[in-house]
């Protein structure tokens, strides 16, 4: 039995954001139908209102009522996960490693007072890195909060630095180079599992550039 899907995208004629309600066997079928009728598809979802209220419920009556024809069982593709790039989703959250404060802790034991060590400990704990499918956000500050963001489509290159001790501890420094005027170069110090995080940033930034249709042009000197 066909399922009602809401397919999101941009009308290729008017350039306006649009959505179509389409009956099809799978989400992939619904998106293919929407593409054939002139929609640049960005994602799709099951029309839960339509399931509860029938064919006339929700936006179906006002937008579209396209229905897919029957297909043989052998020709129906297995649908993959449907990702709506227009919705911001958190992909990762972390803080710098406390190994950043190693020499402060040693100095505290030898020379400096305990309150100074507490301050640097809290400084690390109150630093948050939040990676979504659209941007990387850095939150810092113990009492006041500073927030800095880099759009993923602006990221041009990433690198990981690890010395021998870092590799044994599973931490490292991630350097991000971007076209952001405010933060052309950003360093995430002593991050746990840095290689995995760098790869996640690379994959998400490439996906974001494709979604925004951003093309990087290299100028010859």
CATH number assigned to the domain comprising residue 169:
2.30.29.30
* pLDDT(52) > 50: no
State pTM to two decimals. 0.50
Specify the higher pLDDT residue, 191 or 103.
191
217, part of any domain? no
Specify burial of residue 160 (Cβ count, 10 A radius: 0-12, 13-18, 19+): middle
Question: 120-176 pLDDT, tens per residue?
Answer: 778 888 889 999 988 999 998 888 888 899 999 999 999 999 999 889 989 999 999
Give me the pLDDT at residue 215, please.
65
Q: What percent of the chain has pLDDT over 90?
A: 21
Question: 194-203 pLDDT, tens per residue?
Answer: 999 999 999 9
* pLDDT(50) > 60: no
Question: 102-111 pLDDT, tens per residue?
Answer: 665 566 555 5
**Last residue within a domain, chosen from 43, 75, 107:** 75
Specify the higher pLDDT residue, 143 or 56.
143
Question: 5-29 pLDDT, tens per residue?
Answer: 888 888 777 777 888 888 888 888 8
29, part of any domain? yes
Asked if residues 4 and 21 have their Cβ atoms less than 8 Å apart, the reply is yes
CA-CA distances (angstroms) from residue 200 to 83, 92, 114? 16, 9, 38
Residue-range definition of the domain harbouring residue 46: 3-75
221, part of any domain? no
Residues 194, 136: one domain?
A: yes
Residues 14, 121: one domain?
A: no
Residues 48, 135: one domain?
A: no
Domain count, the chain: 2
């Amino acid at each position: 039995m066909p399922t009602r899907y809401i397919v999101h995208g941009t009308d290729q004629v008017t350039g306006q954001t649009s959505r179509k309600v389409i009956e099809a066997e799978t989400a992939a079928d619904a998106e293919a139908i929407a593409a054939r009728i002139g929609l640049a598809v960005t994602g799709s979802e099951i029309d839960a209102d339509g399931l509860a209220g029938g064919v006339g419920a929700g936006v179906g009556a006002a937008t579209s009522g396209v229905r897919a024809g029957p297909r043989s069982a052998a020709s129906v593709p297995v649908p993959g996960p449907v990702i709506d790039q227009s919705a911001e989703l958190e992909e990762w959250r972390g803080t710098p490693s406390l190994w950043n404060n190693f020499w402060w802790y040693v100095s505290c034991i030898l020379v400096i007072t305990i309150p100074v060590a507490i301050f640097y400990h809290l400084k690390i704990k109150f630093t948050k890195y939040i990676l979504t499918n659209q941007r990387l956000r850095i939150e810092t500050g113990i009492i006041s909060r500073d927030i800095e963001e880099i759009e993923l489509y602006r990221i041009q290159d990433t690198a990981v630095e690890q010395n021998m001790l870092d590799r044994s501890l599973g931490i490292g420094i991630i350097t991000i180079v971007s076209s952001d005027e405010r933060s052309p170069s950003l360093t995430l110090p002593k991050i746990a599992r840095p290689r995995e995080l760098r790869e996640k940033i690379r994959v998400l930034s490439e996906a974001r550039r494709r979604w925004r249709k951003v093309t990087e042009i290299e100028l010859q000197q």
